[in-house]
Structure 1
Amino acid sequence: MPRPPRTAWLAALMLALAAPAAAQEIRLGVELFPNSLDPHWHNFGGNKAFAPHLYEPLVALDARQRPTAALATAWTATDPTTWRLTLRDGVRFHDGAPLTAADVAHTLQRAAAVPGSPSSFAVYLRQITAVETPDARTVVLRTATPFPLMPVYLSQVPIIRATAATTADFDAGRAAIGTGPFRLTGWSRGESITLARNDAYWGEATPWARASLRNLAQPSTRVAALLAGDVDAIDAAPPQDLPRLSADARLRVASLVAPAVAGFHLDVTERAPPGIRGNDGQPLAHNPLADPRVRQALSLAIQRQAIVDRVMGGQARVAGQFMPPGAYGHAPGLAPAPFDPARARALLAEGGFPDGFRLTIHCQNNRFVNDAQICQAVAQMLTRIGVRTEVEAMPHATHVARGRNREFSFWTGLWNVETGEPSAPLVTLLGTVDEARGRGQFNRGRYSNPAFDALLDRALGELDDGARETVLIQATEIAFRDNALIPLHHQMHLWAHRTERQFTPRMDGYTRAMDFR
Structure 2
Amino acid sequence: MFVSLRHTVALTALACASLSMAPMANAKTFKWANSGDVSSMDPYARQETFLLTFTANIYDPLVRRNKELKLEPALATKWGQTNPTTWFFDLREGVKFSDGTPFTADDVVFSINRANGPGSNVNGNFSTMKEIKKVNDHRVEVTTTVPDPLLADKWASISIMSKAWAEKNSAVQPADMVKNEENFATRNAMGTGPFMLKERRAGEKTILVPNPTWWDKPEHNLTEVIFTPVPNAATRIAALKAGDIDMTYEVPPADTDSLKKDANIKVLEGPETRVVFLGFDQERDELVESNVKGKNPFKDKRVREAIHRSIDVDAIKRTVMRGQAFPTNVMVAKGINGYTPDLDKRPALLKPEEAKKLLADAGYPNGFEVGMDCPNDRYVNDDKICQAVVSMLAKIGVKVNLRAQTRNLYFAKILRSTQDGKPNNTSFYMLGWSPATTYDVHNVFEQIIQTPDIKTKKGLFNAGGYSNKKFDELANAVEVETDKAKRDAMIREATKIYVDDYAYVPLHQQALVWATRKNVDLVQPADNNFPLRWVTVK
Contact 1:328–1:469, Cα closer than 8 Å, also in 2: no
The alpha carbon displacement at 1:422 in A equals 2.0
List aligned pairs for 1:29-428, cutoff 5 A: 29-114=33-118, 117=119, 120-163=121-164, 164=167, 165=169, 166=171, 168-171=183-186, 173=188, 176-205=189-218, 206-269=220-283, 271-277=285-291, 283-342=292-351, 343-404=354-415, 406-419=424-437, 420-428=439-447
How far has the Cα of 1:349 moved from its partner?
A: 3.2
Shift of 1:172: 5.2
Q: Indicate how the Cα distance of structure 1 residues 183 and 466 shifts in structure 2: closer, same or farther if over 3 A, else same.
A: farther
Task: Quote the offset at 1:232 in angstroms.
Answer: 0.2
Of structures 1 and 2, the larger Rg is shown by 1
Deviation digits for residues 177-205 of structure 1, max 9, x if unmatched? 21111111111112211111122222221
Secondary structure at the counterpart of residue 341 of structure 1: coil
Task: Specify which of 443, 452, 468 is matched with residue 449 of structure 1.
Answer: 468
How far apart are 1:270 and its partner, in Å?
5.1
- Aligned counterparts of 2:155 and 2:475: Cα–Cα separation in 1: 19
Aligned residues between the structures: 488
Paired amino acid for 1:399 = Y
The 8 Å contact of residues 126 and 437 in structure 1, kept in 2 or not, is answered as yes
SS in 2 for 1:142: strand
Q: Which of 491, 501, 505 is residue 510 of structure 2 equivalent to?
A: 491
After superposition, the Cα gap between the structure-2 partners of 1:464 and 1:216, relative to the gap in structure 1 and judged at 3 Å, is farther
1:381 and 1:172 map into 2 onto residues whose CA distance is: 41
Q: Give the match for residue 3 of structure 1.
A: none
Give me the whole-angstrom Cα distance separating, in 1, the residues matched to 2:499 and 2:70: 26
For residue 183 of structure 1, give the secondary structure of its aligned residue in structure 2. Answer: strand
Contact 1:100 1:136 in 2 (8 A): yes
Secondary structure, counterpart of 2:257 in structure 1? helix
How far is 1:503 from its partner? 2.0
Task: Name segments (4+ residues, structure 1) moved above 6 Å.
Answer: none
- Alpha-carbon distance, 1:252 to partner: 0.7
The equivalent of 1:280 in structure 2 is none
Distance 2:50 2:244 in 1: 21
CA RMSD after TM alignment: 2.1
Task: Encode CA deviations 1:399-423: one digit per residue, 9 max, x unaligned.
Answer: 2222246332211111222221122
Cα gap change, 1:406/1:109 in structure 2, threshold over 3 Å: closer, same or farther?
closer
Name the CA distance, whole Å, in 1 between partners of 2:432 and 2:483.
30
Give secondary structure in 1 for the equivalent of 2:337. coil
2:243 alignment partner AA? G
| Preserved CA contact (<8 Å) 2:253 2:322 | yes
The Cα of 1:158 is off from its aligned counterpart by: 0.3
> 1:222/1:330 Cα in 2 relative to 1: closer, same or farther (>3 Å)?
same
**Alpha-carbon distance in 1 for matches of 2:110, 2:524:** 33
Partner SS, residue 379 of structure 1: helix
| 1:243 CA drift (Å) | 1.3
What whole-Å deviation, never above 9, does each CA across 1:119-173 have from its counterpart, x for those lacking one? 5222112322222322222111111211111111111210111221415332453
Is the CA contact 1:32–1:46 (under 8 Å) kept in the aligned structure 2?
no
Gaps of 5+ in 2: 1-23, 175-182, 416-422
Amino acid at match of 1:142: T
Work out the CA distance in 2 between the residues paired with 1:41 and 1:344.
41
- What is the rounded CA distance, in whole Å, between the counterparts of 1:194 and 1:260 in structure 2? 28
Higher mean displacement: 74-83 or 328-337: 328-337
Indicate the SS of the match to 2:53: helix
> Shift in Å at residue 81 of structure 1?
0.5
Change (3 A) 1:487 1:251: same
| Native 8 Å contact 1:218 1:366 kept in 2 | no
Match of 2:520 among 496, 501, 504: 501
- Give, in whole Å, the separation in 2 of the partners of 1:284 and 1:270: 11
2:33 aligns to what SS in structure 1?
Answer: strand
CA-to-partner distance for each residue in 1:84-140, whole Å, 9 max, x for gaps?
1122233221122232222111111111114xx3x5222112322222322222111
Kept after mapping to 2: 8 A contact 1:322/1:417: no
Deviation of the 1:502 alpha carbon = 1.2
Structure 1 gaps of 5+ residues are 1-19, 278-282
CA offsets 1:258-299 (integer angstroms, 9 cap, x no match): 11111211011352223333xxxxx43211111111101111
CA contact 2:57–2:533 (8 Å) conserved in 1: yes
- Is this contact kept in 2: 1:303–1:339, CA < 8 A? no
Q: Please identify, of 226-235 and 124-133, the stretch whose mean Cα deviation from structure 2 is larger.
A: 124-133
Partners of 1:500 and 1:475 in 2: CA distance: 47
Q: Does 1:429 align with 2:448?
A: yes
| Larger relative contact order (Cα-Cα within 8 Å, sequence gap ≥ 6) | 2
Cα deviation 1:370-406 (Å, max 9, x = unaligned): 1111111111211222323342322222222222463
Q: What secondary structure sits across from 2:163 in the alignment?
A: coil
Paired with 1:332 and 1:196, the residues of 2 have a C-alpha distance of: 45
Are the structure 2 counterparts of residues 23 and 126 from structure 1 closer, same or farther at C-alpha, using a change threshold of 3 Å? same
Cα pair distance change 1:389/1:329, threshold 3 Å:
same
Shift of 1:39: 1.6
Greater Cα offset, 336-345 or 132-141: 336-345
Given that 1:267 and 1:410 are in contact with CA atoms closer than 8 Å, whether structure 2 keeps it comes out as yes
Say which SS state the counterpart of residue 363 (structure 1) adopts: strand
Q: Distance in 1 between matches of 2:362 and 2:524?
A: 46
Write the distance in 2 (CA, Å) between the matches of 1:360 and 1:317.
27
Percent identical: 31
Q: Does 479-488 or 398-407 show the bigger shift?
A: 398-407
CA distance in 1, matches of 2:50, 2:40: 9
Decide whether the 8 Å contact of 1:126 with 1:438 is kept in 2: yes
Instruction: Give TM-score, length-normalised by structure 2.
Output: 0.86
Q: Which residue of 1 aligns with 2:5?
A: none
